[in-house]
């Protein structure tokens, strides 16, 4: 069995995916495969050529759906590796990206790894700041994944994370109720693995640069629609993993935030869509995946 599978769901980003693949093909670690879950109707000739020239590493699968969580689950099912690394289609991986992820799993207590994520505009986070936690009383997400300090964390950023395959399967994979912007599908997977009694660690050596492709993926969605899906998914995540007694505080804080946002944007369609997202999230939480 292969040791590592790198899984990349992609949608309408052939050119940025080519750059991502080139960086992942140029690694210090060699026992791995790349699985592309392609949600495009057409594959560009440049991408097709790169895949054909690297058939021993790249496995390309076309699918007839558009969903990040479902795409990751499909990749999980197809993967031959014991360790599954998930990344986005618009990142540039460091040369020791795969090796750094893999090395963490020599510790049997570790179930998942959050990798470092940088951007062109980053100011690196050093000691003294919290990394990768979700505050209990109001479910505020604290990321700081550009830190240079190794730490145990609660969640990862979906553009750079890995898990033991057997644990991710046992945890139920990625929650396919989390749709649209895919917000919180990464955090949900991490919390589910932690519930099994395993740690998620942040390793700054497992680094990618997030290039934030301007289009494709979820980028083409309107702001109001992004807010709808953010709050829809936030509600599902909160109900699944946060203390129920704190739900009123969560709702009050979110509704105040939504109201303030709508006033700043001078767009009261946003507040109605965000509240609808919370209500629909409650409904979808009650449904089985």
**CATH value at residue 161:** 3.90.550.10
Please indicate, yes or no, whether residues 228 and 193 belong to a single structural domain of this protein: no
Q: CB-based contacts of 44: which residues, under 8 Å, 6+ apart?
A: 14, 15
pLDDT, tens only, 126-146: 556 899 999 887 788 999 999
Domain count, the chain: 2
Does residue 42 lie within any of the structural domains? yes
- 231 in Cβ contact with 278 (< 8 Å): yes
Q: Within this chain, do residues 194 and 59 fall inside the same structural domain, yes or no?
A: yes
Same domain as 172, residue 202:
yes
Compute the distance between CA of residue 176 and CA of residue 179 in angstroms, rounded to an integer: 7
**Are 285 and 239 contacting, i.e. CB atoms less than 8 angstroms apart?**
yes
Tell whether 102 and 192 lie within a shared domain. Answer: yes
**Same domain, residue pair 29 and 153:** yes
Decide if pLDDT at 9 tops 60. yes
Give domain status of residue 217, yes or no. Answer: no
Identify which has the larger pLDDT, 232 or 42: 232
The pLDDT value given to residue 237: 96
Q: Are residues 268 and 126 in the same domain?
A: no
Do 90 and 187 lie in one domain? The reply is yes
What's the mean pLDDT in 166-179?
A: 97
Does a structural domain hold residue 25? yes
Tell me how far apart the 2 most distant CA atoms of the chain are, in Å: 56
Res 247: pLDDT: 86
127 shares its domain with 262: no
pLDDT computed for residue 261 by the predictor: 79
Residues in the chain: 289
CA atoms within 13 A on the CB side of 212: 5
Q: Are residues 250 and 153 in the same domain?
A: no
CA–chain centroid gap for 219, Å, is 15
The four Cα atoms 79, 131, 145, 281 give a dihedral, to 10 degrees, of 60
In tens, the pLDDT along 71-116 reads 999 999 999 999 999 999 999 999 999 999 999 999 999 999 999 9
Q: Are residues 150 and 267 in the same domain?
A: no
Between 157 and 225, the higher pLDDT residue: 157
Residues 10 and 126 occupy one common structural domain: yes
Q: Are 155 and 195 in contact (CB under 8 A)?
A: no
Instruction: Based on the fold, state whether residues 165 and 128 are members of the same structural domain.
Output: yes
Checking if the pLDDT of 289 tops 60, the result is no
- The pLDDT value recorded for residue 68 is 92
Q: Is residue 75 part of a domain?
A: yes
Domain membership of residue 31 as a residue range: 4-210
In a domain, 216, yes or no: no
Q: How confident is the model at residue 124 (pLDDT cuts 50, 70, 90)?
A: low
Of 111, 102, 50, 60, whose CA–CA distance to 81 is shortest? 102
């Amino acid at each position: 069995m292969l040791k590592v599978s790198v899984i990349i769901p992609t949608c309408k980003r052939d050119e940025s995916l080519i750059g991502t693949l080139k960086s992942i093909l140029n690694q210090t670690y060699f026992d791995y495969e790349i699985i592309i879950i392609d949600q495009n109707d057409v594959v560009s000739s440049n991408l097709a050529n790169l895949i054909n020239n690297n058939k021993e590493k790249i496995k390309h699968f076309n699918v007839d759906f558009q969903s990040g969580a479902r795409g990751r689950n499909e990749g999980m099912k197809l993967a031959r590796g014991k360790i599954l690394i998930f990344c986005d289609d618009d990142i540039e991986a460091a040369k020791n990206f795969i090796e750094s992820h893999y090395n963490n799993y020599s510790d049997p207590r570790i179930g998942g790894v959050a990798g470092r994520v940088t951007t062109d505009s980053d100011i690196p986070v050093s000691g003294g700041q919290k990394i990768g936690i979700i505050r209990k009383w109001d479910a505020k997400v604290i990321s700081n994944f550009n830190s240079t300090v190794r730490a145990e964390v609660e969640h990862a950023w979906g553009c750079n994370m890995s898990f033991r395959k057997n644990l991710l399967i046992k945890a139920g994979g990625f929650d396919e109720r989390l749709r649209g912007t895919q917000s919180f599908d990464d955090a949900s997977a991490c919390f589910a693995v932690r519930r099994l009694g395993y740690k998620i660690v942040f390793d700054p050596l497992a680094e990618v640069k997030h290039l934030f492709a301007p289009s494709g993926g979820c980028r083409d969605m309107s702001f109001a629609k992004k807010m709808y899906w953010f709050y829809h998914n936030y509600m599902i995540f909160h109900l699944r993993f946060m203390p129920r007694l704190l739900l009123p505080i969560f709702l009050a804080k979110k509704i105040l935030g939504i109201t303030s946002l709508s006033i700043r944007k001078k767009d009261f369609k946003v507040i109605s869509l965000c509240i609808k997202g919370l209500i629909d999230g409650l409904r979808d939480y009650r449904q089985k995946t």
